[in-house]
Amino acid sequence: MTARHVLVLNCGSSSVKYQLLDMADHTRLAVGLVERIGEAAPRLTHTPADGARRERALAAPDHESALKALAAELAADGLGFDSPHLAAVGHRVVHGGRAFTRPTVVDDAVLAEIERLVPVAPLHNPANLGGIRVARAMNPGLPQVAVFDTAFHTTMPEHAARYAIDVATADAHRIRRYGFHGTSHAYVSRRTAELLGKEPSEVNVIVLHLGNGASASAVAGGRCVETSMGLTPLEGLVMGTRSGDIDPGVVFHLARVAGLSVDEADTLLNRRSGLVGLCGDNDMREIVRRMDEGDDAARLAFAIYTHRLRKYLGAYTAVLGHVDAVAFTAGVGENSAPVRRAAVAGLEVLGLAVDEELNVERASTARLISPQYARVAVAVVPTDEELEIATQTYALVTAANG
């Protein structure tokens, strides 16, 4: 019997998201979430294949108890960590630095390397590591695979990955542009090629991943050559709560003139900026609704957000030289017709346009929204990071087993 199930774990600081996939046909055998770990009233929500959702309160002071609870939930359906069908666990790991350019089977050396990267990803890597350690202890014989958010971007050329700062300081502290959301950019750029009926190696794609966090990438023939996030996810596009690109001098000004501490400036730029900072809302539906009612703050927030998108489309067209497609993905990219319309408005010179009828159509499948005549295809491609993690994990363990 071939083991064909892959459990995907995404451990955040206070939550664990999980999905169990059957790689024979990509069906979801279970989808769940443990939230508020270590906080008051943790909860587990578990939906098996039949759709009958189960929800319960649990005692989850840490990731270990959260993973044990989700394992028990899976075991109740005969799909626990000891299931003979389970081929591997795929873990989302946010920061793989320069060392990890592809998914990697976890051993002690790999764990130590992920640990070494904690200073560049202090919020994420510790939780990811915790999840791997607990899952490993629960079934030591089961392969654990780390899939890194940064891996897809490790193909960026040095002139795109380096900041123009003192080289010795940069190297001593590993300061460079790593990029994030790589699993999504990889999946969406490949799906976009499929939608065009081409191989990934045959097309150049700009991917706009617009969720609460947002990033753009330029993908040439399947390889990432530029992305908008940097050392941290703060750089680049305007996001739900993050400023994106900003003059670093603003930070010095906040410290010297406004009297903010480093931590306060960090909180301001990461949590109280972006759409929330501009208009008090970070849900694009609400911003568009307010804008339609003539709300000036919402209108300005939308204008700044979409102006930044147009700047990046122009810049990445220049980086790629030739663009076959622009793909919109994640919560805003997949659902907001007004954002897509405004993002390409006035960019006919770059061959970009949307067909308004196609743009406003609601659908959950990958589709083209550009007019027949457009030189560049504009696509809406739902992202699926869990499927991508499971696919990469399964490919690795089946290759390893010959």
Q: Does 212 bind ligand ADP (CB under 6 A)?
A: yes
Task: Looking at residues 281 to 300 of the shown chain, list those that interact with ligand ADP (rule: CB under 6 A).
Answer: 282-285
CA distances from 129 to 41, 65, 95, 113, 211 (A): 24, 15, 11, 10, 24
Of 134 and 239, which has the nearer Cβ to ligand ADP? Answer: 239
360 assigned to a ligand binding site? no
- The sign one gets for the Cα dihedral 311, 313, 316, 317 is negative
Instruction: Pick from 32, 213, 236, 274 the residue near ligand ADP by CB under 6 A.
Output: 213
Verify whether residue 171 is a known catalytic residue: no
Does residue 313 contact residue 326 with C-beta atoms inside 8 Å? Answer: yes
Does residue 184 contact residue 209 with C-beta atoms inside 8 Å? Answer: yes
- Number of separate helices (H) and strands (E) present in the chain: 15, 14
Burial degree of 22 (CB within 10 A; 0-12, 13-18, 19+):
middle
Question: What are the residue ranges of helices labelled H in 98-257?
Answer: 108-116, 125-138, 158-161, 167-172, 182-195, 249-256
Q: Which residues of 293-318 are buried (b: 16+ CB within 10 A; e: fewer)?
A: eebeebbebbeebbebbbebbeebbe
209 assigned to a ligand binding site? yes
User: Minimum CB separation from ligand ADP for residue 361, in Å?
Assistant: 13
Of 45 and 139, which has the nearer Cβ to ligand ADP? Answer: 45
Residue 194 in tokens: 């499929």
Minimal CA–CA distance to 217: which of 201, 228, 231?
A: 228
Instruction: Pick from 21, 29, 332, 368 the residue near ligand ADP by CB under 6 A.
Output: 332
CA–CA dist 399, 393 (Å, integer):
10
User: Minimum CB separation from ligand ADP for residue 390, in Å?
Assistant: 17
Q: Does 271 bind ligand ADP (CB under 6 A)?
A: no
Of 102 and 289, which has the nearer Cβ to ligand ADP? Answer: 289
Spatial CB neighbours of 306, under 8 Å, sequence gap ≥ 6? 339, 342, 343, 345
Of 190 and 340, which has the nearer Cβ to ligand ADP? Answer: 340
CA distances from 96 to 100, 115, 263 (A): 5, 10, 24
Of 131 and 382, which has the nearer Cβ to ligand ADP? Answer: 382
Q: Which window, 217-225, 241-249, 296-304, 330-338, contacts ligand ADP (CB under 6 A)? A: 330-338
User: Minimum CB separation from ligand ADP for residue 336, in Å?
Assistant: 4
Q: Which window, 166-174, 211-219, 259-267, 300-308, contacts ligand ADP (CB under 6 A)? A: 211-219
Which one from 22, 149, 263, 281 is the annotated catalytic residue?
A: 149
Q: Which window, 65-73, 130-138, 221-229, 332-340, contacts ligand ADP (CB under 6 A)? A: 332-340
Q: Does 104 bind ligand ADP (CB under 6 A)?
A: no
Task: Looking at residues 110 to 129 of the shown chain, list those that interact with ligand ADP (rule: CB under 6 A).
Answer: none
179 phi-psi bin (left φ>0, alpha ψ -120 to 50, beta other): left
Instruction: Pick from 130, 131, 233, 331 the residue near ligand ADP by CB under 6 A.
Output: 331
385 assigned to a ligand binding site? yes
Does residue 271 contact residue 299 with C-beta atoms inside 8 Å? Answer: no
331 assigned to a ligand binding site? yes
204 assigned to a ligand binding site? no
Catalytic residues: 149
Annotated binding site for Mg(2+): 10, 385
**Binding-site ranges for ligand ADP (CB under 6 A):** 211-213, 240, 282-285, 330-332, 335-336
Annotated binding site: 10, 17, 92, 209-213, 283-285, 331-335, 385
Annotated binding site for ATP: 17, 209-213, 283-285, 331-335
